[in-house]
Amino acid sequence: MVKIHINSHFAIGVIIASLFNHYFNFTLLEFSLIVITSFINDFDVFFSKYAKDHNHRNLVSHSIIPGVIIFSIGLIFDWSVLIVCGFVYFVHIFVDTLDWGTNFFYFPKKTFGLRFLMPKVEEENLSKYLANYRYPESYFDFKYYNNKICMAIEIILFILMIIFVVFLAFEYIIVVLFYFLGLYFHLSRHFYLKKIEAK
Ligand SMILES: [Zn+2]
């Protein structure tokens, strides 16, 4: 399933880490930990086969549970970095409810969200839409890149990330380099799918 791309989750992580760096003066390690927490759970995609409908968004890592646990441990030990990590984890889950939805509360095993990128008529006839493509993932990928709102969000988050890191955490600007790694991953896949589907 395609969703808000990993580089955008990364950008949100940098924005929040920079914001709190203003108050807590994080070390590079602490700053990086917060940024990593903002996107790390998307790697649960490698465990998709254990998920309901093989959708990684149904795994516990895409529910609010880990974020609540990290946040609580941070509160108990009065550990600001963990509190912020719990918060960014929650923000990731919340953002994921906006595009395709996620298994928010985990136990009801129900997709929860506003799901702006998944209109009901398409969801009900998904197999018909997927049949138009050689690879089902092309459908999701093209949908993302043809969506002006998705593009606008991605660009706005990038600009905000740069502004926040420059003004509030300039000493860690080097971390932003990893943003381009995520961007490269998505773009190279996009052009690869485009080439295949064009045939
Ligand atoms: Zn996600």
Query: What number of other Cβ atoms are within 10 A of residue 65's Cβ?
Result: 17
pLDDT tens, residue by residue, 52-75 = 877 788 899 999 999 999 999 999
Contact 90, 134 (CB under 8 A): no
Q: Domain residues of the chain, as ranges?
A: 6-198
Question: What's the 95 CA to ligand 1 centre distance in angstroms?
Answer: 8
The residue with greater pLDDT, 164 or 148, is 164
pTM reported for the whole predicted model: 0.88
**Residue 114 pLDDT more than 80?**
no
Map tokens 């960014």 to a residue: 88
Question: What's the 89 CA to ligand 1 centre distance in angstroms?
Answer: 10
Question: What's the 47 CA to ligand 1 centre distance in angstroms?
Answer: 13
Question: What's the 114 CA to ligand 1 centre distance in angstroms?
Answer: 15
